[in-house]
Each structure stands twice: as structure tokens, then as C-alpha cells.
Amino acid sequence: MPTTFPPPVRRITLDRTPTVVDPSVEPIRHTPVDRAHERGDQRERMTIDDLVVKYAGKPAVKGVTLPIRDQEVLALIGPSGCGKSTLLRTLNRLTELTPGATYEGRIALDGQDVRALPVTQLRRKVSMVFQQPNPFPMSIFDNVAYAVKEQSKRAPKKSALMPKVESALRRAGLWDEVASDLDRPALRLSGGQQQRLCIARALAVEPEVMLMDEPCSALDPKSTMVIEELIRELRKSLSVVIVTHNLAQARRVGDHVAFMYLGDLVEYAPAEQLFTDPRAERTREYVSGSFG
């Protein structure tokens, strides 16, 4: 049997007699440091309060209350027909374009009811990117400049438009790919490039909230990866609300996730919590693939 030795004793030289703490004395409790930024607590950019949306009197969204926080991505998930796209479109009053559509409850942008804002002003602040890329049949430059021109009282010159066009294309991650050929027809771009061009067009008006309705559903995996990285980058400067059927995508890009079913909001939670430890049985079934 090998010989064992006791562990070495470490001696510390003190310059004063140590203070012995009485174990019966309650320890001092310091005021906790406010770590709101580290926790991800941001102010609400938009507020959805008891929202009910109906088509011809039939409810498609039923009493939903949700926060949309500054510099966060809110992912809306749920099976087809659950009301998530209707909810998204109602945020900038696009639902009103559908005959017979009505909504009750309150949607506020920075505390102001969106119904009190002119529609054009609201849609500049709350921009929309659709499922299918929809560039205008004009050049790359003119697609982005169009949004800026709409805000100007006088038609600005191309030289005045260029800085904003470049800025929007850079934010959309497209500038390096098209900078040398801005006069190229936008419809000649690839599907992923067209979607980023539409995002650039929406960014050109400097919105506060970006709404995305399944922006990657028509794209290949490589383009999807680029768009997801773009969403994470956009989150640094504005709020993003994305509707997606791709649960892995919702988990990758979402800070919070809202699960809807048959018009009801079933669960709202931080993304990782909702996917790993959902509170509602219906959520657990959906994220596990039991239905959908």
C-alpha cells in the first residue's frame, strides 16, 4: 500500500487580530444593483391591450394582451389560421383594408393609440415586410428612394437621396452586393436579395417597429440564415415582430415568443423558457410537434 501524507498546511500571516462574526447576528443585506439592462428589461415600444379582431363579425383574434419591447424580437407562432398574421397586420392598421374587418381593444405606439395617428404616419413608424418579396418594377436605387420621396414635400435630387439609400441598403446587409449597379432592375435580384431590398425600403423611412410576416418562407436555407442574422442586427436599433411557422427560427431569433391557438394567446414567455419549459399543456404539445 502506498504511503499517504496529510495535505500541506497553508499559513497566512495577519497584520491584525481577525474579527470573529457572531453566527447569531443577521448578515448585512446590500441593496441589489439594478441590472435591468442585463436582464433585457426594456420599455414597451408598443402595447396590445385586450385586442379583438373580427372578420364579418367572426373573431379571429380574441382578447390578446401583449407587450412589444424596445430592442427586442417578438416571435408569433401557432398553427395556420390561429390569428397571428391578423394580429401582426392590425398593428399598423392593414387589417382595415379587408372589407368587414373590425377590431376592438387598444393598440398603442409609445403610449399613443394608433387610431389617433394618421395612417401614413403610423405605417412609416411601424413598417411591414411581407411573406413574398415585392420589389417595385424599377431599379434598386429607385425602390429604396421611393419611400424617402414619399416623405418629402419636394422631389429631392438623386444626390440628396443617395446617403439615405446607402444607409438603408447597408442596414439591410445588401449594399456590398449591389453598390456597383444600383440602376439594375430590382426584379433581376435573387429571392433573398429581393427580400433584403424590401427590408431596406422599409428601413429607409426610419421606422420604430418592423413587422415581418414569414419573411423567410419563400427563401432557401442560405438566404434564410442571412435574413435571421439581419433580424438580430436590426434588434439593436428597433423592435421586431415576426410571424413564423418555423419553430427553430422563432427560438433562434426571438427574445420573447407568443404562442397563439384558434385566436387565443395561449402562452407568452422568453424564447428559451417557452421551448424548454412551457407552462401550458397546449404549448408543450405544439412545440413538441404533436400537432400543427
With beta carbons less than 8 A apart as the criterion, state whether 194 and 169 touch.
Answer: no
Q: Give the mean pLDDT of 232-261.
A: 97
CATH of 42-135+210-287, one of 3.40.50.300, 3.40.30.10, 3.40.50.720, 3.20.20.70: 3.40.50.300
Q: Where are the domains of the chain?
A: 42-135+210-287
What predicted TM-score, i.e. pTM, was given to this entire model?
0.82
The DSSP secondary structure of 24-90, one letter per residue, reads TSPPP-PPPP--HHHHT---EEEEEEEEEEEETTEEEEEEEEEEEETT-EEEEE-STTSSHHHHHHH
Higher pLDDT, 179 or 22: 179
Q: What is the pLDDT of residue 27?
A: 35
Beta strands across the sheet bearing 101-109 = 58-69, 44-55, 101-109, 112-113
Quick one: pLDDT band at residue 263, thresholds 50, 70, 90?
Answer: very high
List pLDDT tens digits, range 85-144: 999 999 999 999 999 999 999 999 999 999 999 999 999 999 999 999 999 999 999 999
Which residue intervals of 136-280 are DSSP H helices?
140-151, 158-171, 175-178, 191-203, 221-234, 247-253, 271-276
List pLDDT tens digits, range 39-55: 445 789 999 999 999 99
Q: What is the pLDDT of residue 79?
A: 96
Tell me: pLDDT of 23 over 60. Answer: no
